[in-house]
Amino acid sequence: MKKILVFAAVMIAAISVIWLSSPKEPEVVCEEVTRGNICERIEIYGTVEPKSISVVTSTIDGIVDTLCFDQYDRVTRGQSVILLKSDDYVDEISRTERELDTIINNTRTVFSEIDQLSEEKEYALFAAQNAAMDYAAFLEAMKHEEDTFVFNEIQSEYAADITMKKESLTSKRKELQKMIDQCTLTAESNGILIDILVKKGSAVACGQPVAYIADPDSLCITAFIDEETASKLYIGMNLSFKASGSYKTFLGKISDIKDTFVQMETGNKLIPIEITPDSLIGLKTGAEAEIEIILQKKTKTLLIPIMALGKDKTVYILNTEGIIEERKVKTGISDGNMIEVISGLFEGEKLITELSDDVKNGVSAKEKRINEQDN
């Protein structure tokens, strides 16, 4: 009896060793090959910039006295943007104003004297006309004729003086206006103040830029893209983008692909492209743009997960007999998660989506059930 029990134990142990040492069928995660829609897209970043910019430049050495607008305000051509002050100009303007006051007062005095002489002349002529025509009246009339002659001479002298003073006054006014104009920096064009380089109290030099005005109708987006992707783009290509400071999704088109490039330290070349928005409402100069360009679209095409694609574009399927098959496939476009299969697979086949060392061509395997994956 004891011998029988020992023999049975040995047999059980041997069977266990054989079972444990025999290869197990690997369990594989599969997904059915199906058709669907896919877009190949790229995302790049750019900056909203105006193509047309005018510069507001200081015309004198001075101090910023007043900023007439804030950044991003809209201005029109000729509007005062910044007012300056200069000690030299302040003194000169004060002196010119005093000279103007003197000329004006002198002119008023001359007109007053002329008015007085005119009154005396009119009175004398009136008296002569109404006087009796006797000898004494005749002499008096002659005397008034002399006064009239003298008055005409004085009036002529005053007239020359008045003309000279008027010319001087006009000249001084022009000189004063020129000084005031030089202290007033104006917009050279209609647009938006995209940048103000000074603040109240800042010292500026003649010829120094103090502000930039952008034409809002010339806003565009400048971005850079690698050579390979740039070769897939064309002028007029539609796209969408989002801009910082706005929740709106904007539409636009590629308006230019430059022939030049920027050489990176890595050796890669980046091609500048220009994008024109379909609408400028809500866009601001300097905003960062997140751009999405759809390169290609495919509908009802075979799709597989990218993670199921092995080296040299190989995939593995579990055939109807439970054997793993290795396939070479030809791929198309990708969206980063899924990839199009042009040939090498058929709709409905079971694709192994999780690759491991156990997944080999010709090996028998069984599909791992979904509930087993969850556990």
User: Which helix (H) or strand (E) is 57 found in, with range?
Assistant: strand 53-57
Sheet holding 203-204, edge to edge: 184-186, 80-85, 62-67, 203-204
Residue 332 lies in a domain: yes
Both 221 and 293 in one domain: the answer is: yes
Q: What is the CATH number of the domain that holds 338?
A: 2.40.420.20
Residue 177 lies in a domain: no
Q: What is the mean pLDDT of the chain?
A: 78
Q: Distances in Å between the alpha carbon of 154 and those of 114, 144, 168?
A: 8, 15, 21
Rounded average pLDDT over 115-130: 55
Q: Distances in Å between the alpha carbon of 23 and those of 69, 365, 366?
A: 82, 11, 13
Q: When comparing pLDDT for 93 and 333, which is higher?
A: 333
Q: When comparing pLDDT for 367 and 17, which is higher?
A: 367
Residue 372: Cβ within 10 Å count: 10
CB 103, CB 110: distance < 8 Å:
no
What percent of the chain stands above pLDDT 90? 27
Give the domain extent around 350: 25-39+298-374
Both 289 and 141 in one domain: the answer is: no
Q: How confident is the model at residue 272 (pLDDT cuts 50, 70, 90)?
A: very high
Tell me the per-residue pLDDT of 308-359, one tens digit each, with 9 for 90 and over: 998 889 999 989 898 989 999 999 999 889 999 999 999 999 998 888 888 8
Q: What pairing do the DSSP bridges indicate for beta strands 74-75 and 184-186?
A: unpaired
Both 102 and 162 in one domain: the answer is: yes
Both 307 and 189 in one domain: the answer is: no
Q: How confident is the model at residue 20 (pLDDT cuts 50, 70, 90)?
A: very low
Both 32 and 149 in one domain: the answer is: no
289 has pLDDT over 90: yes
CA dihedral of 204, 205, 206, 208, whole degrees rounded to 10? -70
Placement of tokens 């896919």 in the chain:
38
Q: Where are the beta strands (DSSP E) in 129-268?
A: 184-186, 191-196, 203-204, 209-214, 219-226, 238-243, 249-257, 262-263
Placement of tokens 């080296």 in the chain:
311
CB 193, CB 71: distance < 8 Å:
yes
In angstroms, the CA 299 to CA 289 distance is 29
pTM listed for this prediction: 0.55
Q: How many distinct helices (H) and strands (E) make up the chain?
A: 5, 23
299 has pLDDT over 90: yes
- Domains contained in the chain, number: 4
Q: Which amino acid is at 78?
A: G
